[in-house]
Structure 1
Amino acid sequence: MDPPFQTKLSRRERQIMEAVYRLGEASVAAVQDELPDDPDYHAVRVAMAKLEDKGHLCHRREGRRYIYKPEIPREEAKRSALGHLVRTYFSGAPSEVLLTLLNMSAEDLSTDDIAELEAWIEQAKDEGTAHD
């Protein structure tokens, strides 16, 4: 399996992608405003063009400026990143991820959150039984 797209990016490229995902679509100037360390406009423009060459962004022209958006849908990016995290840090076991998350935020879970988790678990059980 290919590594997730995030592992193929530099720190700055990941920051740019995070900004574009947050904004939905954005000009170079809008992304520049979102980045830490106050990067130079030209450096951001070059990095975004590089991300487009790598297939992570696409653009449309709006007047004199380019408006960029992610080429990879947000859901696919999330699944790829989470899959990489599960394989790398949790030995490929999603249950370990869930247990870690629950332990981290147990006191923050509302009754509704717990009910939703229980419903998901029941649905997963039913789907698992259907495949047996």
Structure 2
Amino acid sequence: MTNEALSRRERQIMDLLFRMKEASAEEIRESMEDAPSNASVRTLLRILAEKQHIQYRTVGNKYLYSPATPTKEAGQSALNRVLDTFFGGSATQAVATMLSRKEISEQELDELQTMINKAREEGR
């Protein structure tokens, strides 16, 4: 997958494909808010394929599109970009920002503590 920036509509399609796993152009268009024309969706899919963000396969007379990168790997890559861009690469600053949110639950705090303890045990 290339590091080319995605337009708003390209990002919208990628988000849908990560959720849907695989979909036709029509299924994607039907799932989009304020959906563009069918031709526009197909053009965006062609562009995403050229940028190597998606792949497709033929089933009968239709194409089924899916992300070229597994969701977890794409999420890790996106998170690394956010860390670098907004937090100078510091996971500590990112977590501190998240912890300053008022809506974080006790359960989430417990889960974070468990992850921290596990990382310490593993020597990370």
1:122 maps to which residue?
117
Does 2:88 align with 1:94? no
1:59 maps to which residue?
56
Q: Distance in 2 between matches of 1:39 and 1:79?
A: 30
Identify which of 91, 100, 105 aligns with 1:109: 105
Q: Distance in 2 between matches of 1:119 and 1:37?
A: 42
Shift of 1:113: 2.7
> What TM-score do you get using the length of structure 1 for normalisation?
0.84
> What TM-score do you get using the length of structure 2 for normalisation?
0.89
Q: For structure 2, list consecutive stretches of 5 or more residues without a partner in the other structure.
A: none
Matched-pair identity in %: 35
Aligned-residue Cα RMSD (Å) equals 1.7
Q: Distance in 2 between matches of 1:114 and 1:13?
A: 34
Give the paired residue count: 123
Q: Which 4+ residue blocks in structure 1 deviate beyond 4 angstroms? A: none
Shift of 1:9: 1.4
Q: Distance in 1 between matches of 2:123 and 2:97?
A: 22
Identify which of 9, 32, 37 aligns with 1:35: 32
Q: Distance in 1 between matches of 2:104 and 2:72?
A: 25
Q: Distance in 2 between matches of 1:53 and 1:108?
A: 40
Whichever structure has more helix as a proportion of its residues is 1
Cα distance per residue 1:20-63 (max 9 Å; x no partner): 11111110011112222220001101110111121111111122
Q: Distance in 2 between matches of 1:56 and 1:41?
A: 20
